[in-house]
Copies of this chain bind each other. A is one copy, B any other.
Amino acid sequence: MFASASSLDATFAALADPTRRAILARLASGEATVTELAEPFAMSQPAISKHLKVLERAGLISGGREAQRRPRRLEAQPLAKASQWLDEYRKFWEDRFLRLDALLEDMKIEEKQKRPPAKGRKRK
């Protein structure tokens, strides 16, 4: 379970910020330069660059091939690994939701049985 624990640490820490998640969402549709990435945010380029550094250190993005513009691109592997970790809990939450559904169903049936039949309405 502790295999690549530090890389999971870095991935989850990098994802714990709305600006960084928005940057990843933008890069999912293609490479972009720092200027392009900064545009939608009310943030200075140095502030954006700081976020990019966190994402880079976590391996979530990498510098592009063009040395001058250095467009950044999304890296798939850390996201896949984080998702894989969460998948271990899928059975757990699916069971919970199924039990909640069953509970709600029971409550509905109980509610129906409590209510007296409306007068003048045909009963099936």
Residue-wise, chain A 74-90 has the 8 Å CB interface mask toward B (1 for contact) of 10110110110111111
Whether the pair A1, B22 counts as a contact (CB closer than 8 A) is yes
Within A72-114, the residues touching B (CB, 8 Å) are 74, 76-77, 79-80, 82-83, 85-90, 92-93, 96-97
A17 within 8 A of partner (CB): yes
Whether the Cβ atoms of B87 and A83 lie closer than 8 Å is yes
> For A70, what are the chain B residues with a Cβ–Cβ distance below 8 Å?
none
Is the beta-carbon distance between A9 and B2 smaller than 8 angstroms?
no
Determine the residue in chain B with the shortest Cβ distance to A11.
B16
Residues on B with C-beta less than 8 A from A89 are 24, 28, 74, 76, 79, 83
Tally of contact residues, A, Cβ under 8 A: 36
One complex includes copies of this chain to the number of 2
Contact with A97, one of B15, B76, B88 (Cβ below 8 angstroms): B76
Please determine whether A86 and B79 come into contact, CB atoms closer than 8 angstroms. Answer: yes
Q: Give the docked Cα–Cα distance between A12 and B8 (Å).
A: 10
User: A25 contacts B9, CB within 8 Å?
Assistant: no
Complex-state Cα separation, A5 to B20, whole angstroms: 11
Q: A28 to B86, Cβ gap below 8 A?
A: no
For residue A120, CB closer than 8 A to chain B, the reply is no
- Measured between beta carbons, the chain B residues less than 8 angstroms from A28 are 88-89, 92
